[in-house]
A and B are shown apart, each in its own frame.
Chain A
């Protein structure tokens, strides 16, 4: 059966290596393989969660998808166009449809700008609406994210972390994007505020038909908000499936260990967990074969030599493991 709906975003064999230079003008000594051949698709209106530990490449993947970083190879198809073929001018036009929300609401808002300028900046950049019309739109956006329009003349330092994150969200919404990359949007927030922002993001998705690429290290948050989840380890996707498949019945040994490590807020649930030994190896010189084999409880000799491809193991679920 032919695919009726093309995914909003389709990423194929994406790679991003960062060179490490020796000395000040030195030659390239090695590469950090931050994103190493990942492929995934996101359908319109869904939330794709990218989860993994620090250094797994999830943030780099998010940036490359928006071409905030240029990939080394691979293809990115977004909304019917090949994103990597676009020139500077066309890319800027296309960027209206793709926005980002950052983790740190303190670092991502210019402290010298008023809220009016911050939220109105996307209009200024793209030459849309000016004067009182722009102000009206900014006021609307602020209302949409649950802030009073009277805050327009105030500065970021006058707001709490949760309110700042709302301002960042208002800015991301300004140009009515189709895709929003949310990079750890609630990680810097307190628990009670985190729930408010997660609810807001869900409401906005409904209201505007938004599609999210939601990046986080917090598995319960990812599970709550995502339709589908991709688990990353050392630059690779090791398992992709629906949030229920991943979180209720993980198949990849890394996903299993990751889920088992999540502390449960219930003292009665203290459990025998799969505690992984050792640390995450460096992505500069990742282990050969399966990158997880150095910590894997079920690794066999083959895993040390042969890299397992990401393959479909059941309907809707892919995993990269020889032993499944």
Chain B
């Protein structure tokens, strides 16, 4: 299996007046062709900064300070801004959370999709427009010829997100990064978009990085799951392993703390308490020594706070890696 994208030891820090925020600190993963990597974690864990670093969209005071980003074997880090512009949008494309703010309100959606084609390929405007209409057809927008002449406000949230997906796909990218693509959508529309993403991935052998805070969304589509906490991956492995047999106490806590559908079936009306991870996410300016999760962890021992905990394989096949000495 070939890896389309390989991220090695990525470090992105923010140099603020109050100190250095290590938003992404030594993150490594790879995405194979036609596969989906799910990146999950709570706000501030660094999942979006990871995505922005891959497409080099980090602006000061943030800066990528280390690591390699290999796209089909080619390292993107040494590329000039001009070269990077050819990669971004063509080989790596992104889908954002809020389709209303990501689209230009004064241009038709067809024009905006066609613009992406014109920016990267030497084609006529007419050709670009027909590519845009085709992309809209691929994301199942009814009557695409007519809808292409609509402005963003004329479309519903779900339709706008389909436009974003069409725009991301129109140049046949090697990898698509979807950052919370369904968070702003209602649950019935979310189901449509997840189904669409999954079917497109299958049809075009897309590689996908799906970023979400919602464990349910990740479980729906990801083959591999990486759990992030305070800038680091704390657990990474096949979705089945991570969800069914979580090894890191944070992953375990997260999974136990979400209310499950069907909770009233067994317990009736007396559903009792949810498992809750005590405390809150640490301030990235003042991270504790050793394991960042230690202050909230029920397995914590003195060893946890002494030195940096490495990410290590915990099973025989070396499929799952965990950053915990008690795993």
Contact = CB atoms under 8 A, between A and B. Distances in A.
A218 to B, nearest CB: 8
Contacts of A227: 269
Contact of A196 (B42, B186, B265, B276): B276
Nearest to B276: A195
B261 A279 contact: no
Contact of B259 (A223, A263, A279, A280): A223
Contacts of B187: 53, 217, 219, 258, 261-262
Contacts of B215: 191, 265
B43 interface: yes
Contact of A223 (B253, B255, B263, B280): B263
A288 B259 CA distance: 36
A248 B264 contact: yes
Contact of A195 (B195, B239, B264, B274): B274
A160 B257 CA distance: 19
B264 A266 contact: no
B261 A259 contact: yes
B240 A244 contact: no
B200 to A, nearest CB: 15
A273 B191 contact: yes
Interface string B178-221: 00000000111111101100000000000000000111111110
Given A221-B259, A275-B191, A248 B42 contact: no
Contact residues of A: prevailing secondary structure: helix
A277 B276 CA distance: 36
Contact of A192 (B42, B191, B217, B263): B42
B92 to A, nearest CB: 26
A261 B188 contact: yes
A200 to B, nearest CB: 9
B317 interface: no
B280 A160 contact: yes
Interface-central residue, B254, B261, B269, by most chain A CB under 10 Å: B261
A193 interface: yes
Contacts of B311: none
A223 B264 contact: yes
Contacts of A191: 42, 213, 215, 254, 257-258
Interface-central residue, B214, B262, B281, by most chain A CB under 10 Å: B262
Contacts of B273: 199, 202
A247 B276 contact: no
A162 interface: yes
A14 B14 CA distance: 52
Contacts of B190: 261, 263
A277 B191 CA distance: 10
A196 B275 CA distance: 8
B188 A276 contact: yes
Nearest to B272: A202
Contact of B213 (A190, A257, A263): A190
Given A192-B257, A195-B274, A258-B188, A266 B280 contact: no
Nearest to A188: B43
B191 A261 contact: yes
B259 A53 contact: no
A22 B287 CA distance: 56
A247 B259 contact: no
A220 interface: yes
B261 A195 contact: no
A243 to B, nearest CB: 4
B268 interface: yes
20 contacts: A54-B186, A195-B276, A195-B277, A199-B273, A217-B187, A225-B271, A248-B262, A257-B188, A261-B190, A261-B191, A262-B216, A263-B216, A263-B220, A265-B243, A266-B243, A267-B220, A276-B188, A279-B157, A279-B159, A279-B189
